[in-house]
A = this chain, B = another copy of it.
Amino acid sequence: MPALRSWFSIPRGSHFSLANIPFGIISTQSSPTPRVAIAIGDHALDLEAFAAGSGFSALSTIQPHQAVFSQSSLNAFAALGRPVHSVVRKYIQSIFDADTQYPEVLKTNSTLQKQALLPLSEIQNHIPFFIRDYTDFFVGLNHAYNCGVIFRSASEALSPNYKHLPVAYHGRASSVVVSGTPIRRPNGQILVDPAAAKKEPTYAACKKLDFELELGGFICKANNMGEPVSINDAAEHLFGIVLLNDWSARDVQAWESTPLGPFNAKNFGTSISPWVVHSDALEPFKTNGIENDAGVLPYLKEKNESHFDIQLKVDLKPQSSTSTTIVSTNGKHLLWSYPQMIAQHTSTGCPLNVGDLLGSGTISSTDRSGFGSLLEQSENGKVAVKLSGGEERHFLQDGDEVTISGVCGSDEDALVGFGQNVGKVEPALKI
């Protein structure tokens, strides 16, 4: 399929081509109230301003709902449902199309261009959804296996349930923040000497601060309590995807996680990228995930592949040095897909709400260069990870900046990208 051509200047290689149209929440210095926008090339199209300037005049479907674009989160827009998102997204593509049927809307309307098309360098991104509940899955099989080898053994690496259900735990919604928010190194309860027979914990700064490369999926359709979502309907519940960094305090985690799983080791911060790539934009990049040889139960069995072929990488930049790409992997390295996660989450009748966030779990390939955390790359601190500036890392140091990026496709004029998810480590509070 040839790339869509636009009358608007979209730089080659932009993550936000006309094939994408991701949604987010923005503000500007002169107009500080957060509102809905899409990203296109180096610009955001402010949909509140676009609507106010009769931008949707040729799209009657959306006219009764235009107030959703003035909201400070995508929740109200998302709740309109995937068919409405599709119509809006296609309409915006048609407005930017070189041969648009509606040139008067924007192409020849320099007033509205000035009001609604804002350089990305001049906007502030906000968290795209009000997230009531955040769940973190653990469906990156290679990551689960690597962790199992580190903490147990190769033969006991995966728990017996692992290939039968998408394993997950409830996460902390209040500490999900948008890319760019600094992450303070947590203090936490840590075992002084994990090998000692007598357990002597202390409250100290985390010494094993880590990132985790994940996808995050946003829910756009609620289900009632007591009413599971069928695997066949689950794709309609997924608004779209962001890049997620599940910052982790490995020393806190090792001590606290038995028997109820990670808690303080994760709840100090989770970063997401600001532009939500819509499910429609990801359609052409659907692919198979990791093959499941365990026999999937009918309530989790899908008719079609529904993983995403997303090239993912993590760059690490020390405070006073250059950046190194330390992870290169792909979003398809998951055992369970988003529809399967949604079916499992609701299988007992748990109600999902619009705006809920589902983390995928850490994504790792089978080779070390594709391991999605320092825990795996350094084998829990045993092996140094070399950086291009001559430094090395076992875990994150203060001042380190971690950047996750992701993109679908190879046609430089038609990339469907996620932009960046950036977070910088600040020193711990003095105790």
Contact = CB atoms under 8 A, between A and B. Distances in A.
B169 A351 contact: no
B199 A160 contact: yes
A174 B353 contact: yes
Given A199-B160, A297-B201, A189 B174 contact: no
B161 A256 contact: yes
A199 B262 contact: no
A268 B202 contact: no
B171 A348 contact: no
Interface in A189-245: 189, 199, 201-203, 206, 225-228
Interface in A293-335: 297-299
Interface stretch (A50-58, A82-90, A180-188): A180-188
Interface string A337-368: 00000001101111111001000000000000
Contact of A258 (B161, B203, B350): B161
A172 interface: yes
A21 interface: no
Contact of A169 (B135, B170, B255): B170
Nearest to A295: B200
B264 A261 contact: no
A64 interface: no
A164 B201 contact: yes
A174 B349 contact: no
A91 B264 CA distance: 40
A296 to B, nearest CB: 11
Interface string A121-154: 0000000000011010010000000000000000
7 contacts: A164-B189, A168-B260, A169-B261, A184-B225, A201-B297, A260-B262, A268-B348
Given A165-B189, A169-B260, A203-B347, 16 more contacts: A160-B199, A164-B189, A165-B256, A167-B256, A167-B260, A169-B261, A170-B171, A175-B350, A175-B351, A184-B349, A187-B347, A189-B344, A202-B297, A227-B429, A252-B348, A349-B429
Query: Can you list the 3 inter-chain pairs with the closest CB atoms, starting with the nearest?
Result: A261-B261, A186-B348, A267-B350
